[in-house]
A and B are shown apart, each in its own frame.
Chain A
Amino acid sequence: MARVKAWHVVAKVDDLEKGDVTPVVVGQRELAIYDGVDGISISYGRCTHGAANLCDGYFDGRRIECPLHQGLFDALTGKALAAPARVALRMIDCKVEDGQVLAWI
């Protein structure tokens, strides 16, 4: 039976690493929550190239760099911006309510 998506609280805003990327595990999913200059966004936490944990990478406020091969992604759209990354990140719809980050998963 297909699982129905819903809004889930995944983190408190106060618990996020300010201006950086925070790792969160929800069930079996590893997520990356970006506290960027354009707001909060969420993607699946693994690089689409070598599956390294993006939360250990360098985040400049807009782009997340993979810690293993330095592939680059847009943290808002998930678009792959530089080699060796070629496949976009899967982004997850998110919103902030009452100091909590909610993800549509």
Chain B
Amino acid sequence: MTDAVRTPITQALQDGAISRRELKALMQRSNLPAFRHLAIWIILLVVTGTGIALTMGTIWVVPAMFIHGVVLVHHFSLQHECCHYTVFRTRWLNDAVGWICGLIINVPHQHFRYEHCDHHTYTQLNGQDPELIPLPKTVWSYLKYISAIPYVFGQMRALILHASGRIDESEVHFLPKDVQPIVFLEARLMLGFYVALLIACIATGWTGPLWFWLVPYLMGEPVMRAIRMTEHVGRPNVDDLRENTRSNLVSKPFQFLCWNMNYHAEHHYASSVPFHALPRLHKKLDGYIFVEPRGYLGAHRDIVAQLLGKKPRSDAKQAL
């Protein structure tokens, strides 16, 4: 019998945190919650986009773009769920919607899917988790990460690298040779689209994509960087989901925007549970996982306290 691989949900089942019957009930898929959520999502995008149009030429366009940008960058949450096939019951819809989301925020979907597999296998393990965000050592490095500047340039660099038919050394582990052509084709399609759009804008003088997409995205991305930090940063670099992942109790609007991904530890425990069932899974796993009741801001208070030396650093545990 194989004992070596014990997935988080297997662990939770063995520990009695959840029963098989409960798990199977939570795993049931449905298109309806996704269509409902997506319909409101599109309306929200139209509303925030209209906000930009109505305020153009005034100082109010700045907050309008920021608000639109915050919604735009949350396409990552939808894409993330699609990568787990937990948005739509119809599997190909997850692929299609995930790919479109990735195009909006420059996160190539197939590449993300492979990278994210290793994130779930090696969560928070130094040198193995390709999505690991290290606990910053200084306030400066904390602010630098949240600025999203290194992230945005890194994403663009990766897109160009993949479009040129190469991968980074750090990607070898999760990108087997036979899937690399898929990643290269995806990067070429995306880069081709971006370049074609840029040329069209320059040729016609059309500035819509700049004011309704690129600038809001750049303004909103720091918010997404800050949210991504709350998932694992400041938690120990150990192979135990009860410790290495943080769930955050957030307001309903943010819960809507992140497609319930604030229940991050629950998601890591059972990544096949659809987004709409995560609040119910949260209740089942109450007391079994680490939950930050003060939400995103509470998580950042924890992170900042650690980097200022007011609390023991979470990464000290693995350094021993």
- A 65-97 to B, binary, CB cutoff 8 A, 1 in contact else 0: 101111010000000001110100000000000
A71's nearest neighbour on chain B, judged by CB, is B117
Which segment, of B6-14, B136-144, B301-309, faces chain A? Answer: B6-14
Cβ distance A74 to chain B, nearest Cβ, rounded Å: 13
Inter-chain contact A58/B27, CB cutoff 8 Å: yes
Which A residues touch B5, using CB under 8 A? 46, 50-53
Report the interface size for chain B: residues with CB under 8 A from the other chain.
Answer: 29
Which A residues touch B2, using CB under 8 A? 30, 46, 51
User: Which residues in chain B, 162-180, are within 8 Å of chain A measured between CB atoms?
Assistant: 176, 178-179
Bound: A60/B271 CA distance, A:
16
A69's nearest neighbour on chain B, judged by CB, is B117
Inter-chain contact B114/A83, CB cutoff 8 Å: yes
For residue B23, CB closer than 8 A to chain A, the reply is: yes
Inter-chain contact B272/A65, CB cutoff 8 Å: yes
Inter-chain contact B117/A56, CB cutoff 8 Å: no
Bound: A25/B117 CA distance, A:
27
Inter-chain contact A52/B114, CB cutoff 8 Å: no
For residue A29, CB closer than 8 A to chain B, the reply is: yes
A63's nearest neighbour on chain B, judged by CB, is B91
A50's nearest neighbour on chain B, judged by CB, is B121
Bound: A68/B121 CA distance, A:
8
Known: A25-B1, A58-B29. A68 touches B24 (CB 8 A): no
Which B residues touch A60, using CB under 8 A? 29
Known: A50-B121, A56-B13, A68-B120. A30 touches B272 (CB 8 A): no
Inter-chain contact B114/A84, CB cutoff 8 Å: yes
Report how many A-B pairs have Cβ atoms within 8 Å: 65
User: Which residues in chain B, 91-139, are within 8 Å of chain A measured between CB atoms?
Assistant: 91, 110, 113-114, 117, 120-121
Bound: A74/B9 CA distance, A:
22
Which A residues touch B270, using CB under 8 A? 67
Bound: A67/B117 CA distance, A:
11
Partner of B1, one of A20, A30, A57, A70: A30
Inter-chain contact B1/A84, CB cutoff 8 Å: no
A25's nearest neighbour on chain B, judged by CB, is B1
For residue B85, CB closer than 8 A to chain A, the reply is: yes
Inter-chain contact B271/A83, CB cutoff 8 Å: no
Inter-chain contact A56/B113, CB cutoff 8 Å: no
Bound: A52/B114 CA distance, A:
16
- B 218-253 to A, binary, CB cutoff 8 A, 1 in contact else 0: 000000000000000000000000000000000000
Bound: A65/B24 CA distance, A:
12
For residue B84, CB closer than 8 A to chain A, the reply is: yes
B8's nearest neighbour on chain A, judged by CB, is A68
Partner of A68, one of B7, B23, B86, B176: B7
Which A residues touch B43, using CB under 8 A? none
Inter-chain contact B178/A86, CB cutoff 8 Å: yes
Which B residues touch A51, using CB under 8 A? 2, 4-5
Bound: A53/B10 CA distance, A:
8
Cβ distance B267 to chain A, nearest Cβ, rounded Å: 12
Residues of A within 8 A of B (CB): 17, 20, 25, 28-30, 46, 50-53, 56-58, 60, 65, 67-70, 72, 82-84, 86
Which 10 A-B residue pairings sit nearest by Cβ, starting from the closest? Answer: A51-B5, A69-B117, A52-B7, A58-B27, A58-B272, A67-B272, A68-B7, A70-B85, A28-B1, A56-B9
User: A70-B271, A82-B91, A84-B113 provided; 10 other pairs, C-beta below 8 A?
Assistant: A20-B24, A30-B2, A50-B121, A56-B23, A58-B272, A68-B117, A68-B120, A70-B84, A72-B91, A86-B178
